[in-house]
Amino acid sequence: MQEQRQAHVPVMLDTVLEGLAVRADGFYVDGTFGRGGHSRALLDRLGPDGRLLAMDRDPEAAEAASSFLGDPRFAFESAPFSSMAEVLRQRYPDRRPDGVFLDLGVSSPQLDDAARGFSFQHDGPLDMRMDPSSGESAADWLARAEEKEIADVIYQYGEERFSRRIARAIVRARAEGPITRTARLADLVRGAVPRREPGKHPATRTFQALRIFVNAELRELETWLETIPEVLPSGARLVVIAFHSLEDRMVKRAFRGDRDDAPRIPRGLPVMPEVEAPPLRPLGKPVRADAGEQQRNPRARSAVLRVAERN
């Protein structure tokens, strides 16, 4: 019997469109095209003069985007969203976007494809790369990394309190043979975790941590947050959906304009010095999917959507 794969359902679609304040003649960027759910809805809102640039580093996303290329309003760039500012400068030197959108994390087709190695629910090669043609796979990294390094990655990116136990189990197991399959890694983690969170597979945090590390996802997001304001006009909207607390924290800080290098004002100073306004300002409160959407689409349960505007 052929395995049934879940179609990718765009998360909080109406809220994304509302946050972007889509205009029929506007120019928008979908930095995480995936399988095109949000892009398709954006194109439905655009008129003949509207434009949409989609980006993704996943080769399968590029393949999915080929069905959109007959629309003259649509363009696709095979690149990570961290390079968005440079792509915009090169492709659109005379036009700046009215809105930019990111849906961080992994799509359902990526999780369901055992060959990609993202999921502990499907046995396959332990790869986890968004772009399988670039960089080091999770299996190759686990084969060479020191125990402390493995523990640190699982703890920092997965917030897994049993990271040392898991790292120890991985190092012991690889002495008997390389860990090249997702099922074997999931079994190792299951055996190393003494207590389980209700309703959550014990390997969830470890797989999440390795995926984030292998794809340098936090560095990608940091680069994007630092560079994207440079190419946005005043009033442009940014909408980001995060699925991980570390990612959401970074987005929250950037949208609030938190800066480590901001001058500290001495107490009792009679004249306030001029401080440059932050490039972004948050609009409204963070939004979560309602109960109905969470029931229909389990991926939406951990999603947090934030909206900001360019000052």
The boundaries of the domain holding residue 210 are 131-214
Predicted local distance difference test score (pLDDT) of residue 113: 77
Predicted local distance difference test score (pLDDT) of residue 119: 84
Asked if residue 29 belongs to a domain, the reply is yes
Question: Is there a binding annotation on residue 103?
Answer: yes
Asked if residue 116 belongs to a domain, the reply is no
To the nearest 10°, report the CA torsion of 92, 222, 249, 233: -30
Asked if residue 122 belongs to a domain, the reply is no
The structural domain count of the chain equals 2
Domain identity same for 241 and 255? yes
Q: What is the CATH number of the domain that holds 173?
A: 1.10.150.170
Predicted local distance difference test score (pLDDT) of residue 5: 44
Domain identity same for 171 and 241? no
Predicted local distance difference test score (pLDDT) of residue 309: 98
Asked if residue 98 belongs to a domain, the reply is yes
What is the C-alpha R_g of the chain?
A: 21
Domain identity same for 183 and 228? no
Domain identity same for 48 and 29? yes
Domain identity same for 241 and 160? no
Domain identity same for 230 and 209? no
Asked if residue 17 belongs to a domain, the reply is yes
Residues (pLDDT < 50) of the chain are 1-6, 261-262
Question: Is there a binding annotation on residue 76?
Answer: no
Domain identity same for 23 and 166? no
Predicted local distance difference test score (pLDDT) of residue 7: 55
Domain identity same for 70 and 209? no
Question: Is there a binding annotation on residue 201?
Answer: no
Question: Is there a binding annotation on residue 38?
Answer: yes
Asked if residue 271 belongs to a domain, the reply is no
Cα three-residue angle 223-255-266, rounded to 5 degrees? 105
Can you list the pairs that 164-172 forms with residues at least 24 positions away whose Cβ atoms lie under 8 Å? 165/192, 165/193, 165/194, 166/192, 166/193, 166/206, 168/192, 170/142, 171/147
Asked if residue 191 belongs to a domain, the reply is yes
Asked if residue 6 belongs to a domain, the reply is no
Kindly list the distances between the CA atom of residue 129 and the CA atoms of 82, 103, 187, in Å, as whole numbers in the listed order.
16, 17, 21
Q: How far apart are CA 19 and CA 273, in angstroms?
A: 34
Domain identity same for 103 and 155? no
Predicted local distance difference test score (pLDDT) of residue 270: 57
Domain identity same for 225 and 80? yes
Last residue of a domain, one of 214, 229, 245: 214
Question: Is there a binding annotation on residue 58?
Answer: no
- The tens digit of pLDDT for each residue in 86-119 reads 999 999 999 999 999 999 977 777 777 777 878 8
Domain identity same for 223 and 93? yes
Question: Is there a binding annotation on residue 177?
Answer: no
Predicted local distance difference test score (pLDDT) of residue 277: 79
Question: Is there a binding annotation on residue 70?
Answer: no
Last residue of a domain, one of 214, 237, 253: 214
Q: How far apart are CA 3 and CA 18, in angstroms?
A: 36
Tell me how long the chain is.
311
Domain identity same for 227 and 210? no
Q: What is the CATH number of the domain that holds 291?
A: 3.40.50.150
Can you list the pairs that 103-106 forms with residues at least 24 positions away whose Cβ atoms lie under 8 Å? 103/10, 103/11, 103/32, 103/34, 103/38, 103/241, 104/32, 104/217, 104/221, 104/240, 104/241, 104/242, 104/243, 104/244, 104/247, 105/241, 105/242, 105/243, 105/244, 106/211
- The tens digit of pLDDT for each residue in 195-229 reads 878 878 999 999 999 999 999 999 999 999 999 99
